[in-house]
């Protein structure tokens, strides 16, 4: 019997190695796998490259992981947001590497990794400092820049519902980067609000088919999110 549901955070985090590239879902707090990030802090892997839209806020979650010196590099589109104090301290002190990627290019680089496409051309960022040093080529009279796929060793994602085959649904704007990251990693771990019996999810409404998911763990984000 296939059963991707795990019942402890230790099982969920098993095997994450030092030096891993970790894709972390969410757009701000929405769709961000807070419990899994706490699990990763507990698990101890270090020298990580983290890929997330934002560079953490406050002193918990991703910010805490960075503050503990466990993140070597962050790849994101929008590091500077309200309360991104830890990142800014580390960055100014030269203690963390930063790769800024336009948000759509970030999503597409991971989608490409998940779809077996090693690189693609896009007009986004042409003529800016983010295109420097990259291969340029003209298509239909317009200049494009070559962007490479971005693959994760691990993806930590948040979903609304999940079943034992790993099928997932998302709630409202909680979907954001999660389905794309699920496709792009060797080991995809999903925290969900609700576990459903196999066959209970409406097949036409499954957002991430189970093939992209390795482990599912139920978490409680509290009544506001239920």
Partner 1 sequence: MQGFDRKAMAARLAQDIPEGWVVNLGIGIPTMVADHVPLEREVILHSENGILGMGPAPPPDKVDPWLVNAGKQPVTLRPGGSFCHHADSFAMIRGGHIDLCVLGAFEVAENGDIANWATSENDTAPAVGGAMDLGAGAKRLWVIMEHTTKDGRPKLVERCGYPLTTPRAVKRVYTNLGVFDVVPERGFVVRDLAPGVTLAQAQAASGATLHTQ
Residues that bind partner 1 (CB under 8 A): 27-31, 55, 77-81, 84, 87-88, 91-92, 98, 100-105, 107-108, 110-111, 122-130, 170-180, 207, 224-225
User: Which lies closer to partner 1 via its Cβ, residue 3 or residue 173?
Assistant: 173
User: Which lies closer to partner 1 via its Cβ, residue 8 or residue 128?
Assistant: 128
> CB 73 → partner 1: shortest distance, Å?
14
Do 161 and 30 contact (CB within 8 A), yes or no?
A: no
User: Which lies closer to partner 1 via its Cβ, residue 11 or residue 78?
Assistant: 78
H and E: helices and strands count for the chain: 6, 11
* CB crowding 77-106: b at 16 or more within 10 Å, else e: bebeeeebebbeebbeeeebeeeebbeebb
Helices (H), 34-149: 34-43, 62-67, 85-92, 103-115
> CB 130 → partner 1: shortest distance, Å?
7
> CB 178 → partner 1: shortest distance, Å?
7
Non-local (6+) Cβ contacts of 140 within 8 A are none
User: Which lies closer to partner 1 via its Cβ, residue 17 or residue 80?
Assistant: 80
């Amino acid at each position: 019997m296939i059963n991707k549901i795990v019942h402890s955070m230790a099982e969920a985090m098993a095997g994450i190695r030092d030096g891993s590239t970790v894709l972390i879902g969410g757009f701000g707090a929405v769709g961000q796998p807070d419990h899994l990030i706490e699990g990763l802090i507990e698990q101890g892997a270090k020298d990580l490259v983290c890929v997330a839209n934002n560079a953490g806020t406050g002193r918990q979650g991703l910010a805490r992981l960075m503050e503990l010196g466990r993140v070597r590099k962050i790849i994101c589109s929008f590091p500077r947001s309200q309360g991104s104090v830890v990142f800014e301290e580390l960055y100014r002190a030269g203690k963390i590497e930063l790769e800024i990627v336009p948000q759509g290019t970030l999503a597409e680089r991971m989608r490409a990794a998940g779809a077996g496409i090693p690189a693609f051309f896009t007009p986004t960022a042409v003529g800016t400092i983010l295109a420097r040093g990259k291969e340029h080529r003209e298509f239909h009279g317009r200049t494009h820049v070559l962007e490479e796929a971005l693959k994760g060793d691990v993806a930590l994602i948040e979903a609304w519902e999940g079943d034992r085959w790993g099928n997932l649904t998302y709630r409202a704007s909680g979907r954001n980067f999660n389905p794309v990251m699920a496709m792009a990693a060797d080991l995809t771990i999903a925290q969900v609000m609700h576990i459903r019996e196999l066959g209970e999810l409406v097949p036409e409404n499954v957002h991430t088919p189970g093939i992209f998911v390795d482990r599912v763990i139920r978490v409680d984000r509290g009544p506001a999110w239920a």
